[in-house]
């Protein structure tokens, strides 16, 4: 039986927020697998001693990007890492949206402002500024054209923290049809969920946001599946992905656009889709090199 580490963040004194983690560890243990959660930044962890390191919920990586990029590189050298190091590094930086758009994937229109670059902000419509290295809507906020000065100040703060900023129109469809997360695992659609809008008007830049409000199960449409598959097919190098979450919102014309392609540490929302656990466990065992039957 393989040994598997599920890499997660160290919650310190707070309760751990990854609801999928205990469910997965337990299901793997029940299969006789030596599975354990490991803090990704634990200096004593012996990554090479595992058959598979599954990146599960390394949720502090977005403000420790260089350290995390080194970590995936290092672990990828000593054992099987899922998703692979190249994929994780590519997906950590939301500049991939520009690459995917250039490859013809329908995406939310995005421009980027690196530290030191002039702030060209929209003035005809509401817009969002957020860091290219982000998760949980950290530092994301929306602005009306009248809030230009506040937006410039918050952009400066983002730059001072070392982040490149990305600017997008506020996609109003999200207030009507929400955001849909299509989750893939082991090469097929696992399940999908729908969540409400995170950026209510006036939500401050540095507020702690509810990352997945009003989450419900969702049956993806043919258009959503098509955009998701195009996005996955456009990942450079056509790597093998153990898991992927494709987040979509509706443009003004009602067609789905890519908001985020999460290939590092997606919530799986197994509590909402308990029937998906079995497939996840099988796919993890296959990834660990264990031929699975039945
Ligand atoms: N352009 C946008 N229009 C509307 N809402 C947005 C936009 N960008 C981000 N949001 C909201 O902020 C949340 C977080 O943004 P996202 O790009 O998914 O980053 P992450 O989830 O990695 O923090 C989204 O789930 C969505 O609710
Ligand atoms: Mg998101």
Q: What is the CATH number for 252?
A: 3.30.470.20
Which amino acid residue places its CA nearest to atom 16 of ligand 1? 137
How far apart are the C-alpha atoms of 246 and 119, rounded to whole Å? 29
136 alpha carbon, closest ligand: 1
Residue 201 has pLDDT above 80, yes or no: yes
Residue 14 falls inside a structural domain: yes
Residue 203 falls inside a structural domain: no
How many other C-beta atoms can be found within 10 angstroms of the C-beta atom of residue 85?
18
Shared domain check, 257 and 181: yes
Which amino acid residue places its CA nearest to atom 14 of ligand 1? 137
Residue 293 has pLDDT above 80, yes or no: no
How far apart are the C-alpha atoms of 180 and 245, rounded to whole Å? 10
Q: Which atom of ligand 1 is nearest to the CA of 138?
A: 23
Residue 248 has pLDDT above 50, yes or no: yes
Average pLDDT over residues 161-167: 95
pLDDT range class, residue 291, cuts 50, 70, 90: low
pLDDT > 90 in the chain, percent: 90
Pocket-testing residue among 128, 171, 194, ligand 1, by greatest number of atoms within 8 A of Cβ = 128
Q: Is the CB of 170 under 6 A from ligand 1?
A: yes
List the single range of 22-26, 137-141, 194-198 with lowest mean pLDDT: 137-141
pLDDT range class, residue 205, cuts 50, 70, 90: confident
Q: Which residues of 266-283 are buried (b: 16+ CB within 10 A; e: fewer)?
A: bbbbbebbeebbeebbbb
Q: Is the CB of 198 under 6 A from ligand 1?
A: yes
Residue 251 falls inside a structural domain: yes
Looking at residue 290, its pLDDT comes to 77
Q: Which domain holds residue 232?
A: 175-197+210-268
Shared domain check, 21 and 49: yes
CA of residue 46 to ligand 1 center, whole Å: 36
252 alpha carbon, closest ligand: 1
CATH of the domain at 22: 3.40.50.20
How many angstroms separate the Cα of 96 from the Cα of each of 107, 134, 180, 263?
11, 13, 19, 11
Q: Which neighbouring-strand residues pair with 2? A: none
Shared domain check, 47 and 33: yes
pLDDT digits (tens, 9 = 90+) for 275-288: 999 999 999 999 99
Shared domain check, 219 and 180: yes
Residue 26 falls inside a structural domain: yes
- Joined together, the tokens standing for residue 108 give 């939310």
Average pLDDT over residues 151-174: 95
Residue 188 falls inside a structural domain: yes
Residue 91 has pLDDT above 80, yes or no: yes
Shared domain check, 75 and 19: yes
pLDDT digits (tens, 9 = 90+) for 28-78: 999 999 999 999 999 999 999 999 999 999 999 988 999 999 999 999 999
pLDDT range class, residue 294, cuts 50, 70, 90: very low
Residue 100 falls inside a structural domain: no
- Domain count across the chain: 3
Q: What average pLDDT does the structure give for the chain?
A: 95
pLDDT > 70 in the chain, percent: 99
| Angle subtended at Cα 274 by Cα 269 and Cα 275, rounded to the nearest 5 degrees | 125
CA of residue 31 to ligand 2 center, whole Å: 32
Q: Which atom of ligand 1 is nearest to the CA of 108?
A: 1
Element (H, E) at 1: none
Q: Which atom of ligand 1 is nearest to the CA of 262?
A: 22
CA of residue 26 to ligand 1 center, whole Å: 32
Residue 97 falls inside a structural domain: no
Shared domain check, 88 and 13: yes
Shared domain check, 259 and 181: yes
Q: Is the CB of 260 under 6 A from ligand 1?
A: yes
Residue 101 falls inside a structural domain: no
Shared domain check, 137 and 84: no
Average pLDDT over residues 223-248: 97
pLDDT digits (tens, 9 = 90+) for 94-108: 999 999 999 999 999
Shared domain check, 239 and 263: yes
Shared domain check, 179 and 261: yes
Looking at residue 119, its pLDDT comes to 87
CA of residue 10 to ligand 2 center, whole Å: 21
Q: Higher model confidence: residue 206 or residue 79?
A: 79
Pocket-testing residue among 199, 252, 260, ligand 1, by greatest number of atoms within 8 A of Cβ = 199
How far apart are the C-alpha atoms of 38 and 47, rounded to whole Å? 9
Shared domain check, 85 and 18: yes
- Joined together, the tokens standing for residue 259 give 């908001």
Q: Is the CB of 171 under 6 A from ligand 1?
A: yes
Looking at residue 206, its pLDDT comes to 86
């Amino acid at each position: 039986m393989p040994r598997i580490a599920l890499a997660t963040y160290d919650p310190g004194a707070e309760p751990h927020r990854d609801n999928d983690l205990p469910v997965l560890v337990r299901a793997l243990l029940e299969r006789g697998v030596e599975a354990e959660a490991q803090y990704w930044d634990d200096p004593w962890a012996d990554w090479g001693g595992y058959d598979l390191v599954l990146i599960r919920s390394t949720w502090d990586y977005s403000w420790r990007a260089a350290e995390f990029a080194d970590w995936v590189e290092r672990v990828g050298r000593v054992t099987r890492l899922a998703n692979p190091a190249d994929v994780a590094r590519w997906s950590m930086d939301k500049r991939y949206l520009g690459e995917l758009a250039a490859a013809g994937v329908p995406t939310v229109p995005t421009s980027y402002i690196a530290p030191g670059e002039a702030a060209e902000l929209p003035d005809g419509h509401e817009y969002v500024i957020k860091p290219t290295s982000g998760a949980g809507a950290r530092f994301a906020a929306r602005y009306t054209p009248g809030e230009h000065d506040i937006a410039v100040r918050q952009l400066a703060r983002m730059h001072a923290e070392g982040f490149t900023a990305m600017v997008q129109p506020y996609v109003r469809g999200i207030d009507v049809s929400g955001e849909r997360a299509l989750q893939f695992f082991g090469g097929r659609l696992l399940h999908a969920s729908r969540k409400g809008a995170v950026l209510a008007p006036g939500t401050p830049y540095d507020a702690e946001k509810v990352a997945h409000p009003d989450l419900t199960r969702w049956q993806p449409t043919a258009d959503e599946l098509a955009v998701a598959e195009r996005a996955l097919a456009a990942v450079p190098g056509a790597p093998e992905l153990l898991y992927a979450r494709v987040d979509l919102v509706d443009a003004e014309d009602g067609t789905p656009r890519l908001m985020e392609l999460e290939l590092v540490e997606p919530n799986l929302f197994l509590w909402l889709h308990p029937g998906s656990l079995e497939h996840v466990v099988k796919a993890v065992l296959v990834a660990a090199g264990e031929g699975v039957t039945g």
